[in-house]
Structure 1
């Protein structure tokens, strides 16, 4: 007997808003499978509002309302049974964040939960990593978003510690050099402190930017990217203009700028932890939301 459930996850990030629709395949005597059915990404950069002016603009509130209405229709077509919407760093910090989610609920019926950094890290860490983290090796899981980056240390198949830092790509683009320097120094201290006694450590990277970098590398799924390759790619991207990254590399306009600070974060984490390679499974906050929805029903 096989049962297929359909769940939806809405991830309201600082650089984009995403809808993930997944099939949850339940079969007696077998492990539950989570298969992605559709992923829709809308480039509404809330972080450009929240991290500069401190409020979500009326224009972006209107765009969010339209996006939620569109997502509702898409979920209806996909016959989604249950869904959950979570907002992260930009909405956490916007002075009008609570007001915005109330307005969106009144207009669309979509209830949005603004989650804290620790909760975000916990949801991400709950994603299916067991195939990667099994054995005696150690891993530093790095999920880079627009407003924050979540770091989780795994050793011998278990989570050791986790922390969220205000080190997101959109935030770094809008901060002063002094602010960014301080953030990087704080993260460096944390990573070195929590990885110093670990041997054979590798990175696990998630987020849209590392997925794009992995795709550009031409590597087979499951194979890691080396520090040497990623650093060479970073230097190559930096020397190109924003326009050239769009026209020559076919990057989306809202990806062509943030990919630079994102690559720097991954490289820095590799350097500070001593990792020489980074694995890139296709997982993130939305995958964690789907899993949490399923386990809530058990």
Structure 2
């Protein structure tokens, strides 16, 4: 059974996943067709390396350092193919093309820069391989952006990206570690302004489906604070309200609990929950159904497995040092 590697170069994390695929010659895949051998996350915080809209040389160096570590880990898995894709942090930078070339040259990896629509669509593909979704709306809250997808008759429509995520919300509005009441209101107001440019009625649904680190962090926090350690598969709007309310009412006690539940996301947990709450409110949703699979699995399925079968793609590994991909 072949192994496939996927590196997700995101605004908050750079994550390497290695998947063992039972049969890579199929035309369709579900979560039963592959299993995760490695899921290694590095909290790189690349969005902090954007200055005046430009991705900095320091950001390139930091990305290269993390990718070098992932390349070493990949040697243990003999992957048939390894891909790297990047999302909002590079997509939205004014010097996106130059930054991508610099990272490619330094790392030896080719980088696929996903468009906003691609990212939202692949999130739907991944979420659907977990369990089919026939109708509703899907949200994916990342570090630097939030993707929205309308789902009808089992297919995705109106894929859009809002230029605000949990980490960018923290960086723009929070002075300390946890937001104050005024800072929380500023985060929601900023998101509301971005939503004002959309026809949000398209995404109205009693149930939202959620993927991504911010959604999982909310579930972990709820489990630690209210669920005796059992992570829920669904959160009600009142559950999100409770997390935000606990932070604003007693930040010290909240921080102690958050350090147990999501120590690496303590600063982005509440900004992510504020985005969730605003979306649930504006879309008329009473519950958020959490899906375990997302963009990485969608990329694996559509771009690597199905895509390689169609295009006859070949093995892809880090190239020799100094190899230029211009």
Aligned counterparts, 1:102-121, within 5 A: 102-121=101-120
- Counterpart CA distance in 2 for 1:27 and 1:79 is 15
- Counterpart CA distance in 2 for 1:38 and 1:230 is 30
Greater alpha carbon shift after TM alignment, 259-268 vs 103-112:
103-112
- Counterpart CA distance in 1 for 2:155 and 2:89 is 30
Q: Which residue of 1 aligns with 2:189?
A: 181
TM-aligned CA deviation for residue 191 of structure 1: 5.9
Deviations 1:228-282 (A, max 9, x none): 1221122113445489626763355651111111111111111112211111111
The partner residue of 2:156 within 149, 153, 159 is 159
The partner residue of 1:16 within 13, 18, 23 is 13
TM-score by length of 2: 0.78
Return closer, same or farther for 1:242/1:126 CA change in 2, 3 Å cut-off.
farther
TM-score by length of 1: 0.85
Aligned counterparts, 1:1-298, within 5 A: 4-26=1-23, 32=29, 33-50=33-50, 52-129=51-128, 131-134=131-134, 138-175=135-172, 181-187=189-195, 190=198, 192-196=200-204, 201-218=206-223, 223-241=233-251, 245=255, 249-250=259-260, 254-291=264-301, 292-298=303-309
- Counterpart CA distance in 2 for 1:27 and 1:117 is 27
Structure 1 counterpart SS, 2:84: strand
Give unmatched runs, 5+ long, in structure 2. Answer: 174-182, 310-326
Greater alpha carbon shift after TM alignment, 77-86 vs 25-34:
25-34
TM-aligned CA deviation for residue 208 of structure 1: 0.9
The answer as to whether partners of 2:54 and 2:93 remain within 8 angstroms in 1 is: yes
- Counterpart CA distance in 1 for 2:254 and 2:232 is 30
- Counterpart CA distance in 1 for 2:262 and 2:232 is 25
Structure 2 counterpart SS, 1:120: helix
Aligned length: 288
Higher relative contact order (CA 8 A, sep 6+): 2
The answer as to whether partners of 1:238 and 1:260 remain within 8 angstroms in 2 is: no
Provide the alpha-carbon RMSD of the alignment. Answer: 2.9
The answer as to whether partners of 2:5 and 2:16 remain within 8 angstroms in 1 is: yes
